[in-house]
Structure 1
Amino acid sequence: MIVFLTCVAVVLLTCRVQAASVFAHFMIINSANYTFEDWSNDMKLAQDAHIDAFALNMAYNDLTNMKALPVAFSAAESVGFKLFFSFDYSGNGNWPKSDLINLINHYSAHSSYFFYQGKAFVSTFEGSGRADDWPSIKSETGCFFIPSWSSIGAKPSVETGVVDGLFSWAGWPWGPQNMDTYTDASYLQYLAGMPYMMPVSPWFYTNLPGYKKNWMWRGDHLWHDRWQEVLFVQPEFVEIISWNDYGESHYIGPLHEKSMEAFEIGEAPFNYATDMPHDGWRLQLPFWIDMYKQGTANITEESIVSWYRLSPGAACGGGGTSGNTAQQLQIEFPPAELAQDRVFYSALLGSFSGVVVSIGGSAQNATWTVVPDDDIGVYHGSQAFDGRTGAVTVSLIRDNVTTTTIKGESISASCRHGVQNWNAWVGSATGDKVSVRPRFEISDQLCKNGTGAYNFAGLWIEAAQPYRSGQIPNCWRKSHLQWTLCLQLQSGLLSILNMRH
């Protein structure tokens, strides 16, 4: 084997296991019309999904901040939920240092503020140009600082000398590819043992000309694949992007019609979140999060989740949307080259089941591309539209009996607004009650005959209990909380990583 770049030794110390927490990125600007009950209900839904806290994204000088924060923290205390600040330096410019100190000191006194290692947890979206502010902010507040400075990358961020860890915003794949963990590996390498907050997101599509945003990144298998990668990477923290960013289509929280101002302010050609629920993406989160935190999880009820776009990519005009964006120095693609015309589905099962996808009354026996070890866990697959339109159903079949069915929105050969909506419709259904857990814990499940993304071959670790083919895209090994991640990069990958991130 030719080892390129380096063989990164990632030592998972006890503090990492204790730290394991999952957050959801929450846009404060979308809560301008929230009541106490709205906050409480969202927090209860997050708790049901085993999410630990909301990362409150706040732009400087947004009037919503001062209105929302007292209600949010009061609601969090009433339901036993946690919150922390994620200061947005991109929306309305840089935050003054004094404002940050005052906000952190005031709200970290609340019992609902999230602490790590006895310190108030604080993040950002961008703001690397004000890195020099943070030594004094940390001195005045005693906070634990884990920003997202993805625009400059992991190495320069660490070299500022002010971070206690890093959050990567690179939660979506590049071009017509599925997600990989190369960027995560670069963060782990340069953090050299400091905590890493890993991004997980199901989708990305935005068409807000008023914000100079009109692009999409491939979603497709992303929600399933990324949680598999979380189990592989085992970061200290996971942040889901997002709970309620409707304008970027990656929300997993409920739709609130009174929270859609972004479409008006951003001069969207239409509201592409209306009637496009994403709640189903939360259904299997307790399993994924428990697997991440505990190495195993109980399954008490089988379920299936399905998502797809409501029109084929060639059905109508693309709305000027690009696949990837030159704004981030990426090569752009026609969006239909990234978004596949397929129905995607994940099922949480206690034993093997068949799956049937019907579009417009034309039913086909579908297949699983991922089958969990010992047949217990999350199965995943997809089925092509194949030119079919009409009502969609996705059914689980066991012993010739249908155990549950999703009755989904219809796929149409036209577009509701005369322009393509690259957002996803998500549905779900529950099935049989069961009481099982995977036979092997994460520490026992290793990858075999694995290969890297982009045709980089050679990732190979023999495993006593291998995952089935295709389940985890890169290989890993864990023993007594010590992991070894050996990355094999062929010539040129380092330059690709530098170009992308």
Structure 2
Amino acid sequence: MAFVSPWFFTHLGANTFNKNFLYTSDQHLYAKRWEALVDTTFPNNGNDDASSSSSSNPFDIDIIQIISWNDYGESHYIGPIKGAQPTGSEAWTGGMGHAAWLPLTSYYASAFKNGGQYPDISKDGDGEKSVMWSRTHSAQAQVGDPVGEVMGRELVEDTVWAVTLLAEPANVTFEVYAYTPSSNANDNSSIIISQTFSVQAGLTKLAMPIGFPDTDEGVQSLSVRARVLRSGSGSGSESQDKDTTDTADTLVTQLDAGNPNASDSNSNAGNGDAQGDGQGQGDAQTLAPFVFVKNPEKYNYNAWVGCVNSSGVGC
């Protein structure tokens, strides 16, 4: 049996379980750990020929255990937030559902169960997906927290991590913006930094730094949105000139983390619920807006995780 886990943070004082530390989970740890297990277990990635050891499993791994489904106290849960929690852990799990990691889990689990053959990603329906996660304050924030500083915080980064699952190449644009409760996805005046990546079909891992401007502009809170746009491919409807086709960009997915339960009815894809239960059903009550704050009241190194698919709903 092998093991994989997406995150670890606990913040319980000496009067309870006396656990106040984190393990680094940056650099797409969850995705890379899955890839290490799948690709070393099945080094030919499902492409064995007759001359090779077909469907071989040189490491003899029969089971991969995901740690965990519902251990809220250590922040590595991937299931919905339900039932009892360790006393005090609600402080860092409230509004921080992790079910948006389930589509990523399903993708890798399918590869493991099928001899290293990664599943095809469909352009139709809800096949294409964007998953995004980050912490909600700087790793080096100074907080008057009675539990004290979190051991290991010097190891982590102020970064938004993302994974796209796409059927065809596209451009992914991240926008970090000054957040207010009334922020809207069409307002460009509040953008602090923007970065665009060209990505290929399949799974792509992306990262975007997040932080406050060096100049004091009074910004106290940030959030981030990610848009996946695909250039016109010449397959659109023909115009009166038969040699001309519609080449306008198509919005594949849009995830505005500061407004995770909104949808954009004017496009083919909206935010949806930004999080689902793995069956395409939104779980909005466990996902608060992602707000990266300058001056947190308490330490919280848990992950905010969101996902949206190409149907514009939580995945």
**TM-score, length-normalised on structure 1?**
0.40
- Gap change, CA 1:225 and 1:383, over 3 Å in 2: same
- Gap change, CA 1:355 and 1:405, over 3 Å in 2: same
2-structure distance, mates of 1:432, 1:228: 27
Q: Does 1:224 align with 2:46?
A: no
After TM superposition, the structure 1 stretch with the greater mean CA deviation from structure 2, 234-243 or 400-409, is 400-409
Aligned to 1:34: none
2-structure distance, mates of 1:367, 1:225: 20
| Paired residue secondary structure (1:299) | coil
| Paired residue secondary structure (1:227) | helix
Aligned to 1:255: 81
Higher-helix-fraction structure: 1
Tell which has more relative contact order, 1 or 2 (C-alpha 8 A, sep 6+).
2
Aligned to 2:291: 410
| Paired residue secondary structure (1:271) | helix
2:298 to 412, 419, 423: 419
Amino acid at match of 1:212: N
Instruction: Describe the superposition over 1:86-125 as per-residue Cα deviations: whole angstroms up to 9, x where unpaired.
Output: xxxxxxxxxxxxxxxxxxxxxxxxxxxxxxxxxxxxxxxx
2-structure distance, mates of 1:357, 1:280: 18
Aligned to 1:124: none
2-structure distance, mates of 1:397, 1:414: 34
Aligned to 2:151: 322
Alpha-carbon distance, 1:382 to partner = 0.5
| Paired residue secondary structure (1:259) | coil
Instruction: Describe the superposition over 1:349-394 as per-residue Cα deviations: whole angstroms up to 9, x where unpaired.
Output: 11222211112123512447xx6xxx43211010001426423211
- Gap change, CA 1:383 and 1:412, over 3 Å in 2: same
Aligned to 1:36: none
2:210 to 362, 385, 390: 385
Aligned to 1:100: none
Calculate percent identity across the aligned residue pairs: 29
Kindly indicate whether the alpha-carbon contact (under 8 Å) linking 1:366 and 1:383 is maintained by their aligned counterparts in 2.
Answer: no
Trace 1:247-326 onto structure 2 (pairs within 5 A): 247-256=73-82, 258-260=83-85, 262-264=86-88, 271-294=91-114, 295-296=116-117, 297-300=119-122, 301-317=127-143, 319-323=148-152
Trace 1:35-50 onto structure 2 (pairs within 5 A): none
Amino acid at match of 2:170: S
| Paired residue secondary structure (2:33) | helix
Amino acid at match of 1:352: P
Instruction: Describe the superposition over 1:324-345 as per-residue Cα deviations: whole angstroms up to 9, x where unpaired.
Output: xxxxxxxxxxx1x212100000
Aligned to 1:352: 169
- Gap change, CA 1:290 and 1:225, over 3 Å in 2: same
User: Gaps (5+ residues) in structure 2?
Assistant: 42-60, 178-190, 214-220, 232-248, 258-289
| Paired residue secondary structure (2:194) | strand
Instruction: Describe the superposition over 1:137-164 as per-residue Cα deviations: whole angstroms up to 9, x where unpaired.
Output: xxxxxxxxxxxxxxxxxxxxxxxxxxxx
| Paired residue secondary structure (2:310) | strand
1-structure distance, mates of 2:103, 2:169: 19
Question: Between Structure 1 and Structure 2, whose CA radius of gyration is higher?
Answer: 1
- Gap change, CA 1:432 and 1:378, over 3 Å in 2: farther
Structure 1 residue ranges, 4+ long, deviating more than 4 angstroms after superposition? none
1-structure distance, mates of 2:5, 2:131: 16
User: Gaps (5+ residues) in structure 1?
Assistant: 1-196, 324-334, 434-501
Alpha-carbon distance, 1:263 to partner = 2.4
Aligned to 2:269: none
Trace 1:60-459 onto structure 2 (pairs within 5 A): 197-209=1-13, 210-220=16-26, 221-234=28-41, 235-256=61-82, 258-260=83-85, 262-264=86-88, 271-294=91-114, 295-296=116-117, 297-300=119-122, 301-317=127-143, 319-323=148-152, 335=153, 337-360=154-177, 361-367=191-197, 375-387=200-212, 389-399=221-231, 400-408=249-257, 409-415=290-296, 418-431=297-310
Alpha-carbon distance, 1:286 to partner = 2.2
1-structure distance, mates of 2:141, 2:229: 32
Kindly indicate whether the alpha-carbon contact (under 8 Å) linking 1:404 and 1:431 is maintained by their aligned counterparts in 2.
Answer: yes
Kindly indicate whether the alpha-carbon contact (under 8 Å) linking 1:311 and 1:411 is maintained by their aligned counterparts in 2.
Answer: yes
Aligned to 1:13: none
Kindly indicate whether the alpha-carbon contact (under 8 Å) linking 1:366 and 1:382 is maintained by their aligned counterparts in 2.
Answer: no
| Paired residue secondary structure (1:231) | helix
Instruction: Describe the superposition over 1:14-71 as per-residue Cα deviations: whole angstroms up to 9, x where unpaired.
Output: xxxxxxxxxxxxxxxxxxxxxxxxxxxxxxxxxxxxxxxxxxxxxxxxxxxxxxxxxx
